[in-house]
Amino acid sequence: MHGNECVQSVYESAQVMDNPADLINVAIGELVKQRYELPGFNTLDRLVGRVRTLVNQKLFSKVISRLEDDYIQRLNDLLSSHYVERRSPYNDLKQLPKRPTRDHLNDLIVHLIWLDSLGEVKAFLNDITVAKIQHFAAEARVLDASEIKEFSQPKRITLLLSLIYSAQVQTRDNLVSMFLKRIRTIHNSAKEELEKLRQKNQETIEKLVGLFTNVLQVFVEPPSDPEAIQLCYQVFAPVGGAKQLLNECEEVNAYKGNNYLPLIWRFYKSHRSAFFRLLNALKFESTSQEQTIIEAVRFLQSNAHRRGELLPDTLDLSFASPQWQKLLKVQQGEKNKIVRRHLEVCVFSYLEAELRSGDICVIGSENYADYREQLASWSECQPLVAQYCENLGFADTASGFVTQLKTWLTETANSVDVGYLDNGQVVINLTGEPVLKKPSRIELSPSAQVLSKAVEERFPERNLVDILRNVDYWTNFTRHFGPMSGSDPKLERATERYLLTTFTYGCNLGATQAARHMRGVVTAKELLFVNRRHVSSDKLQKALTDIINRYNILNLPKIWGDGTTAAADGTKYELYEENLLSEYHIRYGGYGGIAYHHVADSYVALFSHFIPCGTWGRMNP
C-alpha cells in the first residue's frame, strides 16, 4: 500500500517539478510520513525515472495532439539550415540582447515580431506548469539543431514550443529594459545640455535678463517718444532687434530652476519612430484604477501620423506635473491646444516611470508583468498572519505593530544619539549630511608581526584545484551540476570534469587557455561542453549556497561576528559592450556591471547579484 501512495505522491509532484533529486526527496518524505523503511537509493532512482518519463511523455503527447500537421512541419523547419546563411532559425530563438542603443532597440522589435509570427504558443502549453516550461526551455537552449533532432517528435515539438514561449517572454522583458535605459539616457543628455547652458548663463545674467525682458516688452509696442525709440532701435538692431532679443530672453528664462524638459525633444526625436513601433509591439495595461497614462498612450498611437505642432486639447493631463503642463498647453485663439512634441516626450517619460514602479504592466512579460497575479489572496494569507507574527516577534494587530515599530525606531535613534559624540568616525557637517572620516593607519605591533609571520610559515602552498577538491569533499557541491534534462551525467570522471570547469571559469581563464596549461588533462572542447550543457546560473547558486552554509558552521566566522547584521557594497566587473546589462561607468571609465554583494558581519557572503552601473540614478518627471 505504501508503494502506491509513494508513487502517487511522486506522480503528482512530477506535474509541477522536473528535477529527479526533488522528486526523490518527495518520495522519501512520503515514506517517512507513512513511517515505512526506506528502500535503497537505486530503487528510488528507478521509480522516479519511470514516473517522470511517464508524466513527461503524457505531456508531450497532449501538446502535439493540439497541433495541426502544417504547424508541426513549420516548427520542424526551424531546425533546417538556411542554404545561404548556413545556420538554422533555431539559433535565432536563442538570440541574446545587445547593449541598449536605438538600432538594437529596432532590431529587438523586429525579433519580437518574428517570434510572435510563430503563433500564440502558450495555448498549446496550457497543461504544463511555468516551472516545467522553463525547464524544457533551458534544456532546448543548450542543445543545437542536430542534437534536438534526435528526440522523438512529441518531445522535440514540446521543447521547441517551450523555447519559443520563453524567448517571447524574455524578448518583451528585454525590450522594456532597453526602453527604460534609452529614456533615462535621453533625460540625462538633456540635463547635461542644460548644465552647459547654465555655465554660459550665470545667475547674475539670469537676473539681468529678467529685468531686461520687461524693458524689451515695452519696445515691442513702441511708446510715444519717437527719438528714444529710434535710439533704442539703433542699439537693438546689430544684435537682431527687439523681438529677437525677447525670444532669446524667454528661451533663457525657460530653463531656470533646473527645467531641462524643453531640451529633451532634440535627443528624443531620433528615437521617435522606434518608440512608436515599441508601443505597437507591446500591450500595456494599468495595474490600478488610474488609466490616464494608458489613455495618453492610446492618444499618441492614434495621432502618430500627425506632423503638425499642435493637437486638440481632448486629453486628460492630470498625470503630468505642473512643470510639464506649463509646456504642454498653449492658447490658440479662443481654444487650448497641446504641443505635440512635448506631449510625446512627456507620455513616454511617465510610461517609463510607471513601468519601473509596477503601476503599468506588459502583457506576456515576466519582469514587467502584473504583480497582482503573483500575490496570494487575502483568504489564503489571513490564517497565516498570527503564526507569522509570532515567529518574527511582531504584534499581530495593525495598531500594535505601529506602536511596536515606533518604539523600536525611537530606541534605535536614542542609542545612536547617545553614542554619536564618542564614535570618532561619523560626523554631521554644516549641511546636515553624515560624513564618514577616513581612519588613520594603524601600524602592526611587534607581536602582531610575529603572529603574521608564524601564520604564513604554517600555511603551506596549496594548489587551487586541490582546494576545490577538498571543498567538494566536505560539501559535495558538484552534485548540483548535470544535464539540463535532470538525468544522470554520462561523463567519465564527472566530478573531475566539473571541478576543472569550475576552476577554468572561476579564474576567468577561458576554456582554451585552461586546456593549454593543463597539458592534455582536458581539452577546450570538453570544458566548453560541460559549461554549456551541465552548468547554469541556478546550479551555480545552489552550489554556492552549500559552500556558504558549510563555512558558516565553522568556528572562524563566529570570531568576526554573530551574523545578525550585514553590509552591502558593489564591485565593478568588465563586461563586453554588446550586453543589455553592460553600461558605461563614469567613475571607472569603462563598460561593465556592478556585482552587488551582501556580506554579514561574520564575513559570510550572504548573496550577490548583478546590477547595471548607476541603477540608483533615475529620472523624476
Res. 124: pLDDT tops 60:
yes
pLDDT value for 411: 94
pLDDT value for 470: 93
pLDDT value for 617: 39
Res. 144: pLDDT tops 70:
yes
99-110: pLDDT as tens digits: 888 999 999 999
Res. 620: pLDDT tops 60:
no
Residue 346, C-beta contacts closer than 8 angstroms, at least 6 positions apart: 261, 320, 324, 327, 328, 621
- Within 10 angstroms of residue 154's Cβ, the number of other Cβ atoms is 20
Mean pLDDT of the chain: 85
Residue 348, C-beta contacts closer than 8 angstroms, at least 6 positions apart: 183, 268, 275
Cell digits for 606?
550572504
Res. 294: pLDDT tops 80:
yes
Res. 621: pLDDT tops 50:
no
150-186: pLDDT as tens digits: 999 999 999 999 999 999 999 999 999 999 999 999 9
Query: Given pLDDT bands bounded at 50, 70 and 90, which one contains residue 412?
Result: very high
Query: Given pLDDT bands bounded at 50, 70 and 90, which one contains residue 251?
Result: low
Residue 436, C-beta contacts closer than 8 angstroms, at least 6 positions apart: 425, 426
pLDDT value for 158: 94
Considering the entire predicted model, what is its pTM? 0.76
Res. 355: pLDDT tops 80:
yes
Q: What are phi and psi of 313, to 5 degrees?
A: -85, 70
Highest mean pLDDT among 400-404, 456-460, 512-516: 400-404
Query: Given pLDDT bands bounded at 50, 70 and 90, which one contains residue 235?
Result: low
In whole angstroms, give the CA distance from residue 549 to residue 539: 16
